[in-house]
DNA sequence: TCAATATGACTGATCAGTCGGTCAATTAAT
DNA sequence: ATTAATTGACCGACTGATCAGTCATATTGA
């Protein structure tokens, strides 16, 4: 059987265009053109535009799970914290467009329905990993500490991605580490 | 001159529909119908759909500035903090749909261009108010403290609005106050 | 009568999704 | 080994629906 050369190209092109111009502003024709294939082929692999979106999210979620696994390599608290923060801020810097796209999905009612399943799963998993980290560090209330930690991280991501100019990302990174390295 | 009964109804209907179904999924026909008015009248008051969106954002920004002013009533730090947090969490509870809508605008490239001006202004203002609060409280680095404080708040808002189920909003509220009432 | 408010049928563009089909490569039958 | 049958990757013109925006016209109040 001939290899499915097109399918992957379509996924890549769609992700790139969705992230750049938004879901609603990207037509299936553009995606096909971007992938160097016909529209028909696109519909041969994906039932609908929404199905294509879901496929993208599931693919990206898998990649992020892999990154999250790196964190859970058992070691002492301070190292885990450092690894986690380094990974998080690195990802933040390298994936601004994709992260914006993902956030846009969560706040558009029609798209939220499609993607909330996989995204929820990913978020809960990340949170529970963080709880474990703080529990091993001997936090008095690891659950709450994890919630606040993740809130602050995601808040930083939000500010960095949205309205604030010249966001001091590196400064926030070092500050966070200093703040959390010795648990109160 | 007859009063512009229609204009306000159009703004209200548009805000409500945008927040409920998203900008792209809301047609000008729906808005007109929702306002009990013809489509032609809508275009009599607003040049385009984008202009209507901008008008909504500017209107809403004014309302939020008023809320922000309440915070800056001069008093002791602990009272200011309490008032600010109470206002913030109250707003969070009462305006979930609108906040989601506003966030969706910031992350859709085509819409971001339209709304980022007013929203940026509002965000910077809120941040600088917070800096003042922490400076008066004698924080060693009020600028950074304010940044982290706002990050955590907006991160909580993000988590509450997006993927997490059964978010413990009230618990976070009291925790934050306890944490910040005596500055480290 | 002048000007503002208001109408809704209409237009042109765009877009998601369809469908009849081509062709190269594999498989099976002779 | 040659050919016939079958598969599925791939194409792009087309359709039906939707939608932003227009305009000729009507209504109403000052």
Is pLDDT above 70 for B123?
yes
Nearest to A140 by CA among B175, B46, B65: B175
As a whole number, mean pLDDT of residues B142-161 equals: 97
Both tokens of A156, joined, read 């930083």
Predicted confidence at residue B1, as pLDDT, reads 42
pLDDT tens digit sequence for B37-96: 999 999 999 999 999 999 999 988 887 777 667 666 778 899 999 999 999 999 999 999
Both tokens of B62, joined, read 């004014």
Is pLDDT above 60 for B3?
no
As a whole number, mean pLDDT of residues A109-121 equals: 92
* Rounded-to-integer distance, Cα A43 and Cα A143, Å: 45
Residues of B with a Cβ under 8 Å from any A Cβ are: 20-22, 24-25, 100-101, 103-104, 106-111, 116, 119-120, 123-124, 127, 144, 147-148, 150-156, 158-159, 161-165, 168, 171-172, 175
**Within 10 A of A66 (CB to CB), how many other CB atoms are there?**
9
Instruction: Name the band, by pLDDT with cuts 50, 70 and 90, for residue A149.
Output: very high
Q: How far is B76 from chain A (nearest CA, A)?
A: 26
Residues in reach of strand C, judged by a CB distance below 7 angstroms, are A 1-2, 25-29, 39-40, 43, 48-50; B 1-2, 4-7, 37-41, 43-44
**Contact residues on chain A for B106, CB-CB shorter than 8 A:** 161-163
Is pLDDT above 80 for A169?
yes
pLDDT > 70 in chain B, percent: 95
As a whole number, mean pLDDT of residues B116-142 equals: 91
Q: How far is A131 from chain B (nearest CA, A)?
A: 15
Nearest to B99 by CA among B146, B169, B181: B169
Both tokens of B123, joined, read 């965000």
The total number of residues written for chain A in this structure:
184
DSSP at B105: H
Q: Rounded to whole angstroms, what are the CA distances from A92 to A155, B60, B82?
A: 12, 30, 32
Write the residue in A25, A107, A123 that is nearest to B100 by C-beta: A107
As a whole number, mean pLDDT of residues B88-106 equals: 93
Instruction: Name the band, by pLDDT with cuts 50, 70 and 90, for residue A4.
Output: low
More confident residue, B32 or A71: B32
CA of A3 to C1' of C26 (A): 13
Predicted confidence at residue A1, as pLDDT, reads 45
The CA R_g of chain B, rounded to the nearest whole Å, is: 19
B121 three-class SS: helix
Q: Does residue A149 contact residue A131 with C-beta atoms inside 8 Å?
A: no
Q: Does residue A52 contact residue A41 with C-beta atoms inside 8 Å?
A: no
Residues of A with a Cβ under 8 Å from any B Cβ are: 20-22, 24-25, 100-101, 103-104, 106-111, 116, 119-120, 123-124, 127, 144, 147-148, 150-156, 158-159, 161-165, 168, 171-172, 175
Instruction: Name the band, by pLDDT with cuts 50, 70 and 90, for residue A3.
Output: low
Predicted confidence at residue A78, as pLDDT, reads 93
pLDDT > 70 in chain A, percent: 95
Is pLDDT above 70 for B2?
no
**DSSP track, chain A:** ----HHHHHHHHHHHHHHHHH-STT--HHHHHHHHTS-HHHHHHH-SSHHHHHHHHHHHHHHHHHHHHHHHTS---HHHHHHHHHHHHHHHHHHTHHHHHHHHHHHTSHHHHHHHHHHHHHHHHHHHHHHHHHHHHTT-SSHHHHHHHHHHHHHHHHHHHHTT-SS--HHHHHHHHHHHHHS--
């Amino acid at each position: 059987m001939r290899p499915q050369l097109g399918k992957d190209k379509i996924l890549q092109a769609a992700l790139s265009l969705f992230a750049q111009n938004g879901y609603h502003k990207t037509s299936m024709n553009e995606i096909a053109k971007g992938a160097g294939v016909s529209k028909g082929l696109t519909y041969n692999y994906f039932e609908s535009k929404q199905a294509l979106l879901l496929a993208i999210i599931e693919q990206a979620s898998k990649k992020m799970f892999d990154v999250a696994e790196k964190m859970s390599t058992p070691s002492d608290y301070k190292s885990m914290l450092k690894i986690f923060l380094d990974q998080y801020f690195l990802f933040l810097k390298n994936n601004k467009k994709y992260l914006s796209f993902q956030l846009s999905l969560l706040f558009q009612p029609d798209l939220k329905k499609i993607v909330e399943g996989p995204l929820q799963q990913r978020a809960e998993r990340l949170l529970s990993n963080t709880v474990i980290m703080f529990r091993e560090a001997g936090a008095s209330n690891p659950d709450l500490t994890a919630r606040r930690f993740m809130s602050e991280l995601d808040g930083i991501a939000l500010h960095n991605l949205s309205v604030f100019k010249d966001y001091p990302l590196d400064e926030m990174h070092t500050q966070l580490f200093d703040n959390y390295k010795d648990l109160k």
